Amino acid sequence: MQRVLRVGCLAVLLSGARVASAADVDAEAIARITGLQPDVKNGVAKVSVPRSDLSVVADGAKLSPFQGLTSWAAFQAAADGTMVMGDLTLTEAEVNPTMSAALDNGLEVTALHNHFFYERPRIFFMHIGGRGTTETLAAGVRKALDATKAARAAAGEGFGGPAIPERSTLDAKTLTAILGEPAQEKDGMVKYVFEKRTAMHGTQAGAAMGVNTWAAFAGSPEAAVVDGDFAMLESELQPVLKALRHANLNVVAIHNHMTGDEPRIMFLHFWGKGRPDELARGVKAALATQAQ
């Protein structure tokens, strides 16, 4: 009987600790910094921005913010401060400016993908997270939301940059000197593949099985485009993202390609325009952040 009472008392104490911890989230600070009034439930303070400024039609049906077109960030007390998680609803033009603002202001970007097919305009969802002080995280969310507004006002068609000639005439020598790997060449285009290794369901897998980073260059020595895919450990995702964005390379997707992989490998797809040597240096800078 005494053991039952002790267990019951412990459960009550732990429950009380959880309530006290949850109460530590400073909703007033979140409201002051983000300019949004949080909805507070069960110790979680959540701010939301319905994207009512967008007129989105998916598969012929007009969508309401209630149907998933709402940016949000939720704050909760953690053992070492505050934790934030969120999902930002963005047009193509808003993704990379918002991503840069999040990364440069104390937040992590953990996924980027679509939720719909056949929607116009195209809508993407960028998941964010972070741990730290309430003030720092709230400021990061505010900066990201402000960047979304600024990008919306300046939105154009495409990423901009130079016009890319239809016929590619690239020379691999300069790019190989920068990237340090043998090149694959075809019709004036140049491609590089960098192996990453993992085990899938206990079986070792490498570049030939799709566990690789690659970058393909097309265009001319004056105006080129690069597209590709980075394979990363989870711990490498944030440094790679920051390096790519600081090199003005655009991130267009973040997701997984496999299940049952150990260590877990994340993939991001990127795109950039400019001089091929400058693009290659941006790719190299991101590669340099990885352990292998």
Query: pLDDT for 92-145, tens place per residue?
Result: 999 999 999 999 999 999 999 999 999 999 999 999 999 999 999 999 999 999
Residues 278 and 181 in one domain: yes
* CA distances from residue 118 to 61, 139, 222 in whole angstroms, order as listed: 10, 34, 36
What is the domain-level CATH number for residue 26?
A: 3.30.70
What letter does residue 67 receive in the DSSP assignment?
Answer: G
**CA-CA distance, 127 to 44, in Å (whole number)?**
17
Contact (CB, 8 A) for 213 and 229: yes
Which of 104, 128, 154 is the endpoint of a domain? 154
What letter does residue 5 receive in the DSSP assignment?
Answer: H
pLDDT of residue 8: 47
| Strand pairing report for 39-41 and 44-50 | antiparallel
40 in any annotated domain = yes
The total of structural domains in the chain comes to 2
pLDDT of residue 292: 64
Please give the mean pLDDT across all residues of the chain. Answer: 92
Contact (CB, 8 A) for 18 and 44: no
161 in any annotated domain = no
149 in any annotated domain = yes
**CA-CA distance, 253 to 250, in Å (whole number)?**
10
Residue type, 267: F
Residues 247 and 140 in one domain: no
First and final C-alpha spacing in the chain: 57
Query: pLDDT for 149-195, tens place per residue?
Result: 999 888 777 888 899 999 999 999 999 999 999 999 999 999 999 99
Query: pLDDT for 21-50, tens place per residue?
Result: 445 799 999 999 999 999 999 999 999 999
179 in any annotated domain = yes
What letter does residue 123 receive in the DSSP assignment?
Answer: E
pLDDT of residue 15 exceeding 90, the answer is: no
Range of the domain at 135: 22-154
